[in-house]
């Protein structure tokens, strides 16, 4: 038994006419008749019989018709599924999300991707910045949203998404709320909550060393949500990427003298052929309407 025999039988069951069934299946009438005969021989009984000048399904044909319809639906489902998989419409992508990138700025793009590709499942993994390249090159991750800081990795490809300023976040009714912008010198006078995953950590510490200043660090943490919680509770102030502020947002101001910003990108391992679903995600990430950093706010060199 093969799919063609089932398809021919269902056409014959609908038309009760060998000629019209053959035309519907785009085969000759003898070919269709022979295929039905082989099917009957395999099943051990007639599926259709001639009564007077008309054809009708036998009891066996009537009994098997529903099962054959189910098989034919499965055939269509298998073919459409295979086509969708090959086109990248059905897949699971493991995507890294650097722990310092806020969900708010990425969520609209990911939602738009889901609407356009509902059969692609995305698993988001919270990853530290220094682990991203190894996870991509080993194949554990298919792609990663990450902050570009320093030289690009030679074995990775990047889709540049947006530039993101760092701001100083502070608790309610803080003195910084009366200022339009805050310098790193101003920050050095405050109790500080330090983000251990901050890309600018070493540069800022070196900057303060050159100025013979020192941060008064009250707490350090790798957890971005804890950092913001401590700032909200009045423990201290913190330099933080603008779009990672959780809602309700902390009060914040631009950092100047020097201004700090980072470039956020979608990274993948360089390879000859990427999964179709990954190509679709990269394409949508490239085309998305990302926020634009007003670089005119910068009053000094970028660290």
C-alpha span between 285 and 279 (Å, rounded): 10
Task: State the Cα angle at 136 between 106 and 98, rounded to 5°.
Answer: 35
Together in a domain, 270 and 142: yes
Is the residue at 134 inside a domain?
Answer: yes
Ranges of residues in the chain whose predicted pLDDT is under 70: 52, 80-81, 84-90, 149, 272, 294-303
Together in a domain, 65 and 199: no
Q: What is the pLDDT of residue 88?
A: 62
* Domain final position from 86, 102, 135: 86
Q: What is the pLDDT of residue 75?
A: 81
Helix (H/G/I), strand (E/B), else coil: 173: coil
Q: What is the pLDDT of residue 211?
A: 86
Strands (DSSP E) found in 106-204? 120-127, 143-148, 156-170, 182-183, 191-195
76-92 as b/e: b if 16+ CB within 10 A:
eeeeeeeebeeebbbbe
* Domain final position from 86, 114, 142: 86
Q: What is the pLDDT of residue 90?
A: 62
Together in a domain, 81 and 20: yes
Is the residue at 303 inside a domain?
Answer: no
Per the structure, the complete domain to which residue 271 belongs is given by 91-164+262-297
Together in a domain, 114 and 225: no
Together in a domain, 281 and 136: yes
Together in a domain, 97 and 43: no
Q: What is the pLDDT of residue 299?
A: 39
C-alpha span between 249 and 228 (Å, rounded): 9
Together in a domain, 266 and 154: yes
Q: Are strands 54-57 and 91-98 parallel, antiparallel or unpaired?
A: unpaired
Q: What is the pLDDT of residue 173?
A: 93
Is the residue at 35 inside a domain?
Answer: yes
Together in a domain, 289 and 243: no
Q: What is the pLDDT of residue 89?
A: 61
DSSP code, position 242: G
Record the tokens describing residue 293, joined without a space.
């950093």
Together in a domain, 121 and 74: no
- CATH for 145: 3.40.190.10
Is the residue at 302 inside a domain?
Answer: no
Interval 209-248: pLDDT, tens: 888 888 899 999 988 899 999 999 999 999 999 998 887 8
CA nearest neighbour of 57 among 22, 23, 5, 16: 16
Is the residue at 16 inside a domain?
Answer: yes
CA nearest neighbour of 43 among 26, 59, 22, 25: 59
Q: What is the pLDDT of residue 276?
A: 86
Asked if 32 and 22 count as a contact pair (C-beta separation under 8 A), the reply is yes
Asked if 192 and 279 count as a contact pair (C-beta separation under 8 A), the reply is no
Is the residue at 12 inside a domain?
Answer: yes
Q: What is the pLDDT of residue 148?
A: 77
Is the residue at 226 inside a domain?
Answer: yes
Interval 30-45: pLDDT, tens: 999 999 999 999 999 9
- CATH for 39: 1.10.10.10
Record the tokens describing residue 204, joined without a space.
């800022």
Is the residue at 288 inside a domain?
Answer: yes
- Give the number of domains in the chain: 3
Together in a domain, 128 and 182: no
Together in a domain, 134 and 272: yes
Helix 3-15 and helix 18-25, axial crossing angle in degrees, nearest 10: 130
Together in a domain, 171 and 160: no
**What distance, in Å, lies between the first and last C-alpha atoms of the chain?**
71
C-alpha span between 59 and 188 (Å, rounded): 90
Q: What is the pLDDT of residue 272?
A: 65
């Amino acid at each position: 038994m093969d799919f063609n025999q089932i398809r021919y039988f269902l056409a014959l069951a609908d038309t009760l006419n060998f000629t019209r069934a053959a035309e519907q299946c785009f085969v000759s009438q003898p070919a269709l008749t022979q295929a039905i005969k082989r099917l009957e021989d395999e099943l051990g009984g007639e599926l259709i019989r001639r009564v007077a000048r008309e054809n009708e399904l036998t009891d066996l044909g009537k009994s098997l018709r529903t099962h054959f319809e189910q098989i034919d639906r499965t055939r269509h489902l298998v073919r459409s599924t295979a086509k969708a998989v090959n086109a990248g419409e059905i897949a699971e992508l493991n995507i890294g999300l650097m722990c310092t990138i806020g969900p708010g700025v990425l969520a609209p793009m990911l939602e738009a991707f889901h609407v356009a590709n509902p059969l692609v499942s995305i698993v988001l993994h919270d990853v530290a910045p220094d682990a991203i390249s190894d996870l991509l090159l080993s194949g554990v991750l298919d792609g990663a949203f990450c902050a570009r800081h320093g030289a690009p990795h030679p074995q990775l490809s990047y889709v540049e998404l947006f530039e993101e300023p760092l701001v100083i976040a502070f608790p309610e009714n803080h003195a910084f709320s009366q200022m339009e912008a805050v310098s790193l010198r101003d920050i050095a006078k405050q109790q500080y909550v330090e983000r251990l995953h901050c890309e600018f950590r070493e540069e800022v510490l070196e900057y303060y060393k050159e100025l013979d200043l020192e941060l008064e660090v009250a707490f350090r943490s790798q957890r971005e949500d804890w950092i913001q919680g401590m700032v909200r509770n009045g423990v201290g102030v913190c330099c933080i990427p603008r779009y990672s502020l959780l809602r309700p947002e902390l009060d914040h101001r631009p950092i100047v003298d020097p201004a700090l910003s980072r470039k956020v990108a979608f990274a993948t391992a360089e390879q000859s052929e990427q999964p179709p679903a990954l190509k679709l995600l990269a394409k949508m990430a490239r085309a998305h309407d990302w926020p634009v950093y007003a670089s005119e706010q910068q009053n000094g060199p970028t660290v």
